[in-house]
Structure 1
Amino acid sequence: MSEPVIKKSELKKACKNCGAELKYKPGTTTVTCEYCGHQEKIDLDTDPIKELPLRQYLKDQGAQVNSEEISILNCKNCGANQHVEENYKSLHCVYCGTPLIREDIKTEQWILPGAVLPFQLTQDEAILRFKKWVKGLWWAPDDLQKATLDPQFTKGLYLPYWTFDAQLYGKYSGARGDYYYETQSYKDSNGRRQTRRVRKTRWIPVNGNIQGFVDDTLINASKQHTGKVPREVALWNLKKLQPFESSFLAGFVTEKYTIPLNDGHLESQEEMRRIANTWARRDIGGDEQRINNLNINLKEETFKHILLPVYISAYRYKNKSYSFFVNGENGSISGKRPYSFWKIFLAVLAGLLLFVLVYLFAQ
């Protein structure tokens, strides 16, 4: 009888002292036992992060080469696909707080992550940032401040992203605009003749070639029907990426990509076209540039599936879901916030009363 296959993405380490599961300690390269305090060093891969050949994976047969099955819980409310550790205590969707039913677990195929950016902030540090941020919000309901006090509302989540690399070659045609100035005479409002310098642009037809290496074009791999991560938070230092090691995921939720590789690749091509446009304008030079035609060709395309860290606090107010986000690497924070009707109403009422009192006093 053959031995069961141990999945690389779900490999768990038990504490040698008490048998409890070891969890990753943010900002370190260790896993820690919450019960007895035992720590173990994570064996970091010294090999370079692996880039996968894109064209091979865009074919069905190629996509299975570096893939495996993982257990997934799908949120019936917002559609997020979440891989949850077996002993995760609070089975609620990290985006909207909807309870997840363990019996609904299913297995799905996914391309193994090639790299992970480990959490640098602990949950306690994220909660402190939430509290400070909430205190600075005007007109926020009191319940919002209560929510930041409860750790169960704040979850650490690894978000899925695609990155694409390519050698970019481009050919463009357009025009270079150089400013020059002419002196013109005119009559002012009093009928007197005056002179002024007027800027004009001299256009010269141009064409040329551009080329260069485009590294780590970052494409969101999750649709995030609700609780979309704000742009201010979705900025990570990709130089901190580590070769994928499942120990970094221990104690956190991992979201499975819902945007297929092919769709991510199409979006990356649009981004690379924008990059090519910038390169072409730089190559043209001058004060202004016009690009009439730009053809690009991408070669030696590679990609990787990566996981990036964020803390999410899901909160419900007046039957609406709100999500707040803290970047798990650099601590930047943002999110949609509710407003308290009564706080605003009382503030407006107080303002009107003050206005009336000032008016009466002035009389």
Structure 2
Amino acid sequence: MEDIKKQKSELKKACLNCGAELLYAPGTTTLICEYCGNEETIAAKNQGFEELELKPYLDKIGGQSHSEVISMLQCKNCGANQHIEEHYKSLHCVYCSMPLIIEDVCEEEWILPGAVLPFQIDHKKAHQVFKNWVGGLWFAPNNLKKAALNPDLTRGLYLPYWTFDAFLNADYTGQRGDYYYVNVPYTTTQNGKTVTRTRRERRTRWTYASGHVSGFVDDTLVKASKQNTGNIPLKIAHWNLKLLKPFDSSYLSGFVTEKYTISLKDGHLESTDEARKIANYWARRDIGGDTQRVSSIDMQLSNETFKHILLPVYISTYKFKGKRYNFYVNGENGAISGERPYSFWKIFFTVFTVGIIILVVVMLAR
């Protein structure tokens, strides 16, 4: 219990000068006090990432190891589970902006993250990305900018993911296809006469193939949370995992952290499906030839390990004419994706103008 209390106390770090909350400065290894400007360096950890053995966790043995208790608030509107520290002043859901009631806080246990990819761009930069993107939208309503560009509605969120490692062995059977070409005669009519010609057609010669493939499958990434609304678009869900750092709660200071809602067991099932796709690719590569058919794969995974990791994203939510829209910015590389409204009249007049231009061109051509 003392270890759990220690882990919880480390989530909030006080300034040595004034006692205010220290916040993580994105793109650095520094905590900064927003009141007196004092800075504190986050100590580098020499050890690498600790990969946890998968089987004991799936068998619920050792579940207390590498775990801690955290305070959670659940959004009653979209169901998102969010860990929000005391210093975070805006108690609203990062996905749907509905108010979170502090009295509803509850304590839950989670598997302690093994690694975190700290935010590489700050709140100001993320807001500028939003602003530039909205400013460049075609057919957007004129008053969209006023609705969308409120910096207070841009929030930083650490998303939970599972990563899985395993050694893969697979026996396969299939067919190897090699292309060859033949000349095929055909007839056509030319100047009222029937003429015989030939054309070159590609054929495939199939031969039986079987074999064995093996290798290490590293860091299969599986999303560990699911909400009723506000799912992160695949377009921005790409991070450079080489920037991962051994977990330190200091990197979470000033940001919301989402707790996983997809179990380790379900995440493992998805990673196994991904491993099967990898085995299929390796088998096709091993078969060779111009094309391949894989009939069967007998796959075995061994030495399976996993990590719970946290990845950064900024979210902005706003309402426009009664409808809610979400924007997302990758907190590492600045990639953006979002929902947006369209102006009916802008589209109408554009189509009308283009139609007039085409009509004029056709009339002049006559």
TM range (shorter): over 0.9
Aligned ranges 1:284-299 → 2 under 5 Å:
284-299=287-302
Deviation, structure 1 residue 142: 3.9
Which residue does the alignment assign to 1:215? 218
- Are 1:147 and 1:153, in contact at CA under 8 Å, matched by a contact in 2? no
For residues 20-79 of structure 1, the C-alpha deviation after alignment (integer angstroms, 9 at most, x for no partner) is 100000000000011111111001211010100000111223222111111111111111
1:140 deviation in Å? 2.1
Pick closer, same or farther for the CA change 1:194–1:92 going to 2, 3 Å.
Answer: same
Q: Does 2:233 match 1:249?
A: no
Q: Does 1:180 align with 2:180?
A: yes
Q: Residues of 2 paired with 1:357 and 1:9: CA distance?
A: 74
Q: Is contact 2:12-2:85 (8 Å) kept? A: no
Aligned partner of residue 236 in structure 2, secondary structure: coil
Count of equivalent residues: 362
Deviation of the 1:347 alpha carbon: 5.2
Equivalents in 2 of 1:9, 1:58: separation in Å? Answer: 29
Please say if residues 73 and 83 of structure 1, whose CA atoms lie closer than 8 Å, have aligned partners that are also in contact: yes
The structural deviation recorded for 1:145 is: 1.2
Runs (5+) with no aligned partner, structure 2: none
Q: After alignment, is 182-191 or 31-40 more displaced?
A: 182-191
State how far apart, in whole Å, the 1-side matches of 2:4 and 2:174 are.
61
Confirm whether residue 326 of structure 1 aligns to residue 332 of structure 2. Answer: no
In structure 1, what is the equivalent of residue 35 of structure 2? 35
Is the Cα contact below 8 Å between 1:121 and 1:331 reproduced in 2?
A: yes
Structure 2 equivalent of residue 111 of structure 1: 111
Q: 1:83, 1:197 → 2: CA distance?
A: 66
The answer to whether the 8 Å contact 1:324/1:336 transfers is yes
TM-score (norm 1): 0.93
Q: Mean alpha-carbon deviation: is it higher for 177-186 or for 111-120?
A: 177-186
Whole-Å separation in 2 of the counterparts to 1:161 and 1:55: 18
SS at match of 1:14: coil
CA offsets 1:271-301 (integer angstroms, 9 cap, x no match)? 1101111110000010010001111000000
Q: What is the alpha-carbon distance in structure 1 between the residues aligned to residue 144 and residue 9 of structure 2?
A: 35
TM-score, normalization by structure 2:
0.93
What is the distance in 1 between the residues matched to 2:63 and 2:244? 23
Query: 2:67 aligned with 1:64, yes or no?
Result: no
Check the 8 A contact 1:44/1:245 in 2, yes or no.
no
**1:1-363 alignment runs, 5 A limit:** 5-7=5-7, 11-190=11-190, 191-344=194-347
CA distance in 1, matches of 2:321, 2:125: 28
- 1:179-211 CA distance string (max 9 Å, x none): 011122221233211122111100000000000
Check whether the contact 2:160–2:223 (CA below 8 A) recurs between aligned residues.
yes
Matches of 1:42 and 1:238, distance apart in 2: 20
**Which amino acid is the alignment partner of residue 291 of structure 1?**
V
- Residue 318 of structure 1 and its aligned partner are, at CA, apart by 3.1
Measure, in 2, the Cα distance between the counterparts of 1:207 and 1:162. Answer: 33
Question: What is the CA RMSD across the aligned residues, in angstroms?
Answer: 2.4
Distance 1:253 1:143 in 2: 30
Gaps of 5+ in 1: none
CA shift in 2, pair 1:147/1:7, >3 Å: farther
Quick one: structure 1 residues 349 and 99, their matched pair in 2 at CA, closer, same or farther if it must change by over 3 Å? farther
Q: 1:358 to 1:180 in 2, by over 3 A?
A: closer
Return the letter of the residue paired with 1:229: I
Moved more, 348-357 or 168-177: 348-357
Query: How far apart in 2 are the matches of 1:356 and 1:300?
Result: 69
* 1:214-252 superposed Cα distances (whole Å, 9 cap, x missing partner): 000000001132111111100000010000000000000
In structure 2, do the counterparts of structure 1 residues 3 and 78 end up closer, same or farther at CA, with 3 Å as the change threshold? Answer: closer
Query: Per the alignment, do residues 351 and 238 of structure 1 end up closer, same or farther by CA in structure 2, a change over 3 Å counting?
Result: same
Q: Is the 8 A contact 1:73 1:84 kept in 2?
A: yes
Q: Distance in 1 between matches of 2:362 and 2:241?
A: 60
The secondary structure found in structure 2 opposite 1:26 is coil
Q: Which amino acid aligns with 1:215?
A: D
Check whether the contact 2:182–2:201 (CA below 8 A) recurs between aligned residues: yes
What SS class does the counterpart of residue 76 from structure 2 fall into? coil
The amino acid of 1:195's aligned partner reads T
Counterpart CA distance in 2 for 1:183 and 1:350 is 53
- Identity value in percent: 60
Q: Structure 1 pair 291/351, CA: closer, same or farther in 2 (3 Å)? A: closer
Within 1, Cα distance between the matches of 2:183 and 2:358?
56
Deviation of 1:348 after TM superposition, in Å, equals: 5.7
